[in-house]
Amino acid sequence: MHPKETALIMSLALKQVFNKDRTFRPKRKFEPGTQRFELHKKAQASLNAGLDLRQAVQLPHSEDLHDWVAVHVVDFFNRINLIYGTISDSCTDQSCPVMSGGAKYEYRWQDEHRYKKPTALSAPRYMSLLMDWIEMQINNENIFPTNVGTPFPKTFMQVAKKILSRLFRVFVHVYIHHFDRVSQMGAEAHVNTCYKHFYYFVTEFNLIDHKELEPLKEMTLRVCH
């Protein structure tokens, strides 16, 4: 099948699987006409052309790494939002009283406001705080500037790495605790593709510590190699 036909079929399948009413958070968009929007289009074009995902994540010639990372952070936020939104009805305080990835991995929430010490929370509560926190970061012009020529802050990569490592935890929870629901909805291939894209991107630019990737090590070997 031609790559464009494959992309179209995948796009139609996504619209059926991921009903927009189930999105966990409003989608963050790039303003048309901005440099970030053009870069976003370039990234999407690479994916739609059926390029190998390892190639698709590579920094385009003459583009700035910070811009490339910023575009992907927002894109992954939107996609992972959708993925969690589809299974959120089966992820409750009762079914998932602890935000975890199996018996070995538990994730505690910490922020600068209410939870100043790492705190054990239910998975849906953790997810809600996580998505709110990421939304605040990516909507903050001082961290994710949208105007061409406005420099990124020195802390940008540090913040981007923190966002991506926390988004990885969503994959961990979904794969380990809710993959039967994903399969039931016929979304397995899409979630796997999203994961591969995410994994290749963060490893290409060394954005997540390898220890953080351990919970999905076996699944990654199966899906990504």
Residue 173 labelled as part of a binding site: yes
SS3 string, 50-84, reads CCCHHHHCCCCCCCCHHHHHHHHHHHHHHHHHHHH
C-beta of residue 153 within 8 angstroms of C-beta of residue 141: no
The encoded tokens of residue 122 equal: 């239910």
The encoded tokens of residue 162 equal: 């923190």
C-beta of residue 72 within 8 angstroms of C-beta of residue 201: yes
Residue 96 labelled as part of a binding site: yes
Residue carrying the six token digits 């705080």: 129
CA–CA dist 64, 24 (Å, integer): 30
CA-to-CA separations, 224 to 69, 83, 134, 194, in angstroms, rounded = 21, 19, 26, 11
CA-to-CA separations, 136 to 3, 59, 196, in angstroms, rounded = 36, 26, 26
Task: Give the count of alpha carbons within 13 A of 60, CB side only.
Answer: 15
* Residue list, annotated binding site: 91, 96, 173, 178
List binding-site positions for Zn(2+). Answer: 91, 96, 173, 178
